[in-house]
Amino acid sequence: MTGPVLRPSVRDDLVTLEGYHSPQVQVDVRLNTNEAPSAPPPEFSQAVADAVSALEWHRYPDRSAIALRTAIGALYDLGPEQVFAANGSNEVLQTVLLTFAGAGRTTLSFEPTYALHSHLATITGARPKRRTRRGDFTLDPGAAADAVRADRPAVTFLCSPNNPTGIVEPRATVETVLEAVAETGGLLVVDEAYGEFAPWSATTLLGEDVPLVVTKTYSKTWAMAGARLGYLLGPAWLVAKLNLVVLPYHLDAMKQAAGLAALSFVDAMTARVAGIVEERGRIEAGLRRLGVEVWPSGANFVLFRPGGSGDLVWQELVERSILVRNTARWEHLDGCLRVTVGTPAENGRFLDALDDILESPRHE
C-alpha cells in the first residue's frame, strides 16, 4: 500500500464508549461473576453428548428452535410463541433494544443497576437515561412512574433481583411502573437473570396486552454460563417482532440440544437453587456478625460494605486467593464489594478470611 493508511472511524456516538469489564485474577476461590458454584449433574453431560452425536452437522439448526422454546414455555404454562431464546440474556436484551429502541429513542434505568442495560442501549443507537434509586438502593415506585411519564422512554428496565444490590423489586413497584409504561406506549423489561433465587416473579404479570417482557438466563439457575443461552417471556405478537430482527439461525444446534437437555433435570436445578439460597443466608448472617453493612439479597450474591477502604479489603482477599467483585469505586456503591454465593467450603473460607482481615490492625 502506498501512502498513509486512513483507519476507518468508529461511529460518532461510540467514540467515548467504555467497554464492559469483569477482571479475572488467578485465585483458588472465584466469587466474582455470579456463576453457579457447581456444574449440572453428570447425567446432563451425557444427555448433551448423546444429543450432539446425533446432530446433522451439514444442516442449519432449527431456525425457530421450536423444541427448546416449547420446553421452556412449558415451565411457565406458556406456548412457544411466547418465548424468544438467544445467546445469553444479553443477546435477548440487545434484540429487544434493536427492535423497540434504537436511533432517536430513549431507554430508562434506575441506578445502580446492571450496567449492560444502558451500555447495550448506547451500542444499539438509543439514548440511555439514568435515574437514581433511593440511598438504600430501593426504588420509589411513585418517582419511578413519574420518571416514565416525564421521559417517555421506548424501553424501561427493572432488574429483579437487582444486580449489583441483590434487592428484589416488590410486586407493587413493578405494577406501578408497568402502569406508567402502558400509558406512555413503552415497553417494560424486567431482567430476572436471578429470578429463581427470589420469592416472586414478574412472569405472573405477563399478558398478551401487557407491555411487559421478562428476561431469564441459563447462566445462573441452570449452572450453564458456558453455554450462553438466555430467553424472554412475553406477548406472542412481540416475540414475533424479535424473530424478525435477530440474525437467522442465531441459535446453534449444540446450544439448542444443551438447553433442551437441561430441562430434564429440573429437580437437580431446584435442589441447587435451594442450597444456594441457604448458603446466601449463612453469608448474610456471617457478614452481619462481623459488623459489616449488608443489603438483603434475593439473588445468588450479596452486596456488602466492609467499612474503611473497600479496595484494600478486596486486595487482601485476593492475597488470600479469594476473588470477589470490586464495586468499591462504582458510582453510588462507594466502598462496597459483591460476593457470589459459592460452595459451603468456599463461603466458609471467604467469611474466615474477611474476619481475619477486619480484625487486623490495618482496619481499626
Query: Which parts of this chain interact with ligand PLP (CB under 6 A)?
Result: 34, 88-90, 114, 159, 163, 191, 193, 217, 219, 225, 230
Strands (E), 15-114: 29-31, 83-86, 106-111
Residues 40/223, Cβ–Cβ less than 8 Å: yes
Beta bridge partners of 338: 303, 325
The nearest distance, CB 230 to ligand PLP, in angstroms, is 4
Radius of gyration of the chain (CA): 21
138-141-146-152 Cα dihedral, nearest 10 degrees: 80
The nearest distance, CB 117 to ligand PLP, in angstroms, is 8
The nearest distance, CB 87 to ligand PLP, in angstroms, is 8
> In this complex, which beta carbon is closest to ligand PLP, that of residue 44 or of residue 114?
114
Cα gap 55→51, rounded to integer Å: 7
> In this complex, which beta carbon is closest to ligand PLP, that of residue 302 or of residue 351?
302
Beta bridge partners of 303: 338
> In this complex, which beta carbon is closest to ligand PLP, that of residue 161 or of residue 286?
161
> In this complex, which beta carbon is closest to ligand PLP, that of residue 117 or of residue 131?
117
Residues 233/76, Cβ–Cβ less than 8 Å: yes
DSSP 8-state code for residue 195 = G
The nearest distance, CB 291 to ligand PLP, in angstroms, is 28
DSSP letters spanning 140-174: -HHHHHHHHHHH--SEEEEESSPTTT-PPPPHHHH
> In this complex, which beta carbon is closest to ligand PLP, that of residue 93 or of residue 353?
93
The nearest distance, CB 303 to ligand PLP, in angstroms, is 13
The nearest distance, CB 229 to ligand PLP, in angstroms, is 7
Residues 259/52, Cβ–Cβ less than 8 Å: no
> In this complex, which beta carbon is closest to ligand PLP, that of residue 87 or of residue 99?
87
> In this complex, which beta carbon is closest to ligand PLP, that of residue 29 or of residue 193?
193
C-alpha distances out from residue 235 to 56, 93, 211, Å = 32, 15, 8
**344 cis-preceded (ω within 30 degrees of 0):** no
The three grid cell numbers given for residue 183, joined into one nine-digit string: 400509558
The nearest distance, CB 359 to ligand PLP, in angstroms, is 32
Residues 342/360, Cβ–Cβ less than 8 Å: no
**Residue of this chain nearest to ligand PLP (CB atom):** 88
